[in-house]
Amino acid sequence: MRRPLIRKLEKFTRLSRADKEMLVRIAAQRVRRFAAREDIIHEGEKPEFINLINEGWACRYKTLEDGRRQIIAFFLPGDLCDLNVFILKEMDHSIGAITPVSVSEISRAAFDEMMIGHPRITQALWWESLVAAAIQREWTVNLGQRDALERMAHLLCELFIRLDAAGCTSDSSCEFPLTQTELGETLGMSTVHVNRTLQELRASNLIVLKDRTLTIPNLQALQDVALFNPNYLHLDREGRHLDANEE
Amino acid sequence: MRRPLIRKLEKFTRLSRADKEMLVRIAAQRVRRFAAREDIIHEGEKPEFINLINEGWACRYKTLEDGRRQIIAFFLPGDLCDLNVFILKEMDHSIGAITPVSVSEISRAAFDEMMIGHPRITQALWWESLVAAAIQREWTVNLGQRDALERMAHLLCELFIRLDAAGCTSDSSCEFPLTQTELGETLGMSTVHVNRTLQELRASNLIVLKDRTLTIPNLQALQDVALFNPNYLHLDREGRHLDANEE
DNA sequence: GAAGCGACCTTACCTATGTTAATGTCGGAC
DNA sequence: GTCCGACATTAACATAGGTAAGGTCGCTTC
């Protein structure tokens, strides 16, 4: 359950002992904790570090002048915020904690060190950032083409599979800390409609969601209603199946 | 009007003569042309090259099983497809030409060569890819929070400003080859509603759109209805204004 | 233990946007 | 000059999803 980043990167490539030690060392350097709803970094600030989420859930979000808020991405354990952000002069969005989180700050120097001596890690981090981009694209498809039910189902599939890759599921269940308001801000729908939609998924026995725990009794069935195709997560190293689960 | 990539990168940093020669050389290596509507690369294929758009418009898109199509991004002259895509085993989406396009294919070797000897270029390409990610995020906000009119206005502002950065505008006009169907596939709305929305923008004198030419008489006014904030494009090198136009 | 609060659920009503389908316009092929 | 296909436009009608309002439950606070 520890070291979700390593666990995730190994979905892409094998890492040597030295690679893993490097990652552990980097992640231990500057650790910060944030309370739920606290901002990790705010729009307009100068980014100085790459953030790595060790524990808890966070999100990117953006607020329009008139107060509407959109959640743009979720960061789960093992997720990195943006490689090389420090190139930009200021953040164009904020990153906030959803649950209490533990975050490692990676400095420019530490990052460069890692990129130079460890080609395996470099490759793996490139992969992780290409996947993050693919996820963002899929969200565009989700918001543009799918209706409320499909959209919700799609999000739940994605989160579940990503959590699984980070080693944060057990059987068909995972922690699920999002409120209906946050789901609405993510999927571009009102809380009322989020509620209706969740009811509908529950009524079809596609999900059980209670006490911050999500259970998906039949993932394939949920994927079917979502028109969910996991290829964009680029998780299979050798074309093997997700649940081959060989560690 | 030539070399839109160089023009765009110089929005971020000054490039030396050697840097520019390098970019010109790379772009001249393998040039391909595609007709309008032809695919440059298709979902499922193995990516071998980074594509650079020299001329014309292209788009990323994804098609759901049931035929719904979402345009995920536009590539304008000077845009690069994905740095380092070749790490991935297969494309999770397609890239298609909208108009006839000229594309330079950049091989892994050429890319590595560029990244090693030219730190300025490396930085600039990182910047370009961070901006591309920011654009994708903004599209998420656009689809999630803005209504049809705002959404359309936002897209038009973005495209105009990006074209301007690549040197593809004159005064307040630019070529605009998108059909209403394509606009609908981009903004997640029906063609009928695209049409209504364009009429409304025309009636308010916010745009003139005719014969594949878009004119925005008052960009600020259009930005206002779109709740458009250009910060996500990260275009001002020294906090100077977009139209300082010092070349 | 009363008051306050945040998550959640529900209902009734309303509207932005989708659907379908008919019609118009224009440029190119022959 | 006629025909055709791609695109734009319009109208009439249908619906997914938004808005407003209110209610329940459990937790915290003092």
CB A19 within 8 A of CB A120: yes
pLDDT reported for residue B244: 39
- Consecutive H or E run containing B40: strand B39-41
Number of domains in chain B: 1
Q: Read off the pLDDT of each residue in A65-90 and give the average, rounded to a whole number.
A: 95
The residues on A that touch B, with CB distances below 8 Å, are: 60, 62, 64-66, 68-70, 72-73, 82, 84-85, 87-90, 92-93, 123, 126-127, 130, 133-134, 136-141, 143-146, 185-188, 227, 229, 231-232, 234
Integer distance in angstroms from CA B75 to C1' D21?
Answer: 47
- pTM for this entry: 0.94
Three-class SS of residue A55?
strand
- What would the DSSP string read from start to end of B182-237? HHHHHHT--HHHHHHHHHHHHHTTS-EEETTEEE-S-HHHHHHHHT--GGGG---T
Which pair of structure tokens corresponds to residue A180? 């209906």
Backbone region of residue B173 per phi and psi (left: phi > 0; alpha: psi in -120 to 50; beta: other values): beta
Average pLDDT over residues A134-160: 98
Q: Is residue A167's beta carbon less than 7 angstroms from any atom in nucleic acid strand D?
A: no
Cβ-based contacts of B128 with chain A (< 8 Å): none
Tell which residue, A130, A142, A136, has the closest CA to residue A93: A136
Q: Which residues pair with B75 in a beta bridge?
A: B58
In one letter, which amino acid is A208? V
CB-CB neighbors (< 8 A) of B231 in chain A: 90, 92
Q: Closest nucleotide to residue A146 (Cα to C1')?
A: D16
Q: Can you tell me the distance from the alpha carbon of A144 to that of A136, in angstroms, rounded to the nearest whole number?
A: 12
Which tokens sit at B151? 């959404």
* Model pLDDT, residue B243: 42
Chain centroid, CA A217 distance in Å: 22
Q: How far is A106 from A112, CA to CA, in rounded Å?
A: 10
Share of chain A above pLDDT 90, in %: 90
* Per-residue pLDDT of chain B in tens (247 residues, 90 and over written 9): 478 999 999 999 999 999 999 999 999 999 999 999 999 999 999 999 999 999 999 999 999 999 999 999 999 999 999 998 999 999 999 999 999 999 999 999 999 988 888 999 999 999 999 999 999 999 999 999 999 999 999 999 999 999 999 999 999 999 999 999 999 999 999 999 999 999 999 999 999 999 999 999 999 999 999 999 999 999 977 544 444 344 3
Is A186's CB within 8 Å of B144's CB? yes
- Residue A243 confidence (pLDDT) above 60: no
Q: What's the pLDDT band for A236 if we cut at 50, 70, 90? A: confident
Q: What is the DSSP letter of B80?
A: B
DSSP A31: E
Domain of B52, in residue numbers: 4-244
Question: Which nucleotide has the least CA–C1' distance to B147?
Answer: C16
pLDDT at A246: 41
Question: How many Å lie between the alpha carbon of A93 and the closest alpha carbon of chain B?
Answer: 8
- pLDDT of res. A55: 94
Compute the average pLDDT of residues A71-85: 95
**Contact flag A133-B82 (C-beta cutoff 8 Å):** yes
Q: Give, as one character, the DSSP assignment of residue B45.
A: S
Which residue among A65, A70, A136 places its CB closest to the CB of B133?
A136
* Site from A42, A140, A237, A240 to mutate, B interface, most B CB atoms within 10 angstroms: A140
- For the CA of B36 and the C1' of C29, the distance in angstroms is 19
pLDDT at B117: 85
Q: List chain B residues with CB under 8 Å of A231.
A: 90, 92
Nearest 5°: the CA angle A42, A46, A47 is 80
Looking at the predicted structure, is the pLDDT value of residue A16 above 50? yes
**Per-residue model confidence (pLDDT) at position A65:** 92
Answer yes or no: is A191 CB < 7 A from strand C: yes
- Nearest Cβ partner for B123 among A87, A93, A134: A87
| Residue B210 beta carbon within 7 A of nucleic strand C | no
Structure tokens at B4: 């839109």
Residue A158 in 3-state DSSP? helix
Alpha-carbon gap, residue B133 to B122, rounded angstroms: 17
Give residue A221's pLDDT. Answer: 97
> What Å value separates CA B135 and C1' D20?
35
What does the pLDDT read at residue B155? 98
A194 nearest nt, CA–C1': D17
Higher pLDDT, B136 or A85: B136
Q: Is the CB of A68 under 7 A from strand C?
A: no
Average pLDDT, chain A: 93
For residues B179-190, one letter each, b for 16 or more C-beta atoms within 10 angstroms of the residue's C-beta and e for the rest, the string is: ebebbbbbbbbe
Does residue A241 have a pLDDT over 60?
A: no
CATH number at residue B192: 2.60.120.10
Q: Phi and psi (nearest 5°) for B94?
A: -115, 160
Length of chain B: 247
